[in-house]
A and B are shown apart, each in its own frame.
Chain A
Amino acid sequence: DAGITQSPRYKITETGRQVTLMCHQTWSHSYMFWYRQDLGHGLRLIYYSAAADITDKGEVPDGYVVSRSKTENFPLTLESATRSQTSVYFCASSEGGGGQPQHFGDGTRLSIL
């Protein structure tokens, strides 16, 4: 759906560098989520946000930082990238929390050398 966009689509960086993945949604959904997808692990939740200025940890938050100053944006920052963070990252949004469908962006394929 065009309502949620991620940038960049592809990123290559080096260990130790900071990198920020962007996520923008136009639906005014209150909830936003960040997942990483690795072979054999499915979709693992990194962080989520229930509203602007409210964020909470998911299953695998270590090494990541998020912020949500505006409802429509939910950037994910890797402060000092490590090779284990090489993955495909998906952003998603939903109108509510657990009881509402989540809508995913196209993903960012991140490679850390």
Chain B
Amino acid sequence: GENVEQHPSTLSVQEGDSAVIKCTYSDSASNYFPWYKQELGKRPQLIIDIRSNVGEKKDQRIAVTLNKTAKHFSLHITETQPEDSAVYFCAASRNTGNQFYFGTGTSLTVIP
């Protein structure tokens, strides 16, 4: 089955700096890669996703890049703000599959 590894497990940045979270996956057939943000005590919420037919996707201050050859994808947050502090989860799946395979999460703290 698929194995998704996520790094780092914790990340602290100064407000205004950029944050990068990286995930690697093992199944070369995986072709859908969502990212979820979970604030303390809240539900995970989808913030951005990417499919394997594109290499990069951007939505305001967040972007995701995908390297299919190396089997890794990354979340980039620019101009970080305190409200970006949360746990971020990556996941990988196949369009034809039934489930997501989640990374173990990254706890991001933005220091004002």
Closest Cβ of chain A to B4, distance in Å, is 9
Whole-angstrom distance between the alpha carbons of A104 and B34 in the complex? 13
The interface size of chain B toward A, counting residues with CB under 8 Å, comes to: 24
Choose among A43, A98, A101, A106 the residue that contacts B98 (Cβ–Cβ < 8 A): A98
Q: Decide: A99 and B31 in contact? CB cutoff 8 A.
A: yes
At the interface, is chain B mostly helix, strand, loop or mixed? Answer: loop
**A-contact 0/1 string along B92-112, CB 8 Å cutoff:** 011111111011110000000
**Chain A residue with Cβ nearest B95:** A99
Q: Which residues of B lie under 8 Å from residue A48 when comparing CB positions?
A: 98-99
29 contacts between A and B (CB under 8 A): A31-B98, A40-B104, A41-B104, A42-B102, A42-B105, A48-B99, A58-B99, A90-B44, A97-B93, A97-B97, A97-B98, A97-B99, A98-B96, A98-B98, A98-B99, A99-B31, A99-B51, A99-B94, A99-B95, A99-B97, A100-B32, A101-B34, A101-B46, A101-B49, A102-B34, A102-B46, A103-B46, A105-B43, A106-B43
Query: Which B residues lie at the A interface, using CB under 8 A?
Result: 31-32, 34, 36, 42-46, 49, 51, 89, 93-100, 102-105
A74 contacts B by Cβ under 8 Å? no
**Chain B residue with Cβ nearest A100:** B32
Interface residues of A in 20-74 (CB under 8 A from B): 31, 33, 40-43, 45, 48, 50, 56, 58
Closest Cβ of chain A to B103, distance in Å, is 7
Q: Which residues of B lie under 8 Å from residue A90 when comparing CB positions?
A: 43-44
Q: Decide: B89 and A42 in contact? CB cutoff 8 A.
A: yes
**Which 9 pairs show the lowest CB-CB distances between chains A and B?**
A99-B95, A98-B97, A98-B93, A42-B104, A104-B43, A97-B98, A43-B102, A98-B94, A99-B32
